[in-house]
Amino acid sequence: MKTNAKGGTMVETSPYKNGPYMVFPDGSTYDGAEGCTVVFITDDGQGQLESSNDFQSVEIDEMETIRIEDLFDAYNKVHSTDI
């Protein structure tokens, strides 16, 4: 058994063996989440995105990215889970 930062027991085996998936707002469209990021962009970055409709054209210094894996790690730490 693993223990969390508060000394509590963490569940070693998760029933959630598949995924992660990113499910889009329509509730039926999805894709694998591995390698995905959540991105916040500046006003200039928003202009770059709107002009091309492609994140590859947004300059790196106009965005802040958070890897999905980092969000999962934080969630697991906060909730003492292992999904």
Look at the pTM and tell me if it is higher than 0.85: no
Per-residue tokens: 79 = 């909730």
> How far is the C-alpha of 8 from the C-alpha of 4, rounded, in Å?
5
What's residue 24's pLDDT? 83
In whole angstroms, what is the distance from residue 2 CA to residue 80 CA?
Answer: 9
What mean pLDDT, rounded, does the chain reach?
85
* CA 66, 68, 70, 76 torsion-angle sign: positive
pLDDT over threshold 90, residue 75: yes
Q: Which domain holds residue 29?
A: 2-79
pLDDT (0 to 100) of residue 21:
84
pLDDT tens-digit series, residues 27-63 = 888 888 888 999 999 999 999 999 999 989 999 999 9
Question: How many structural domains is the chain composed of?
Answer: 1
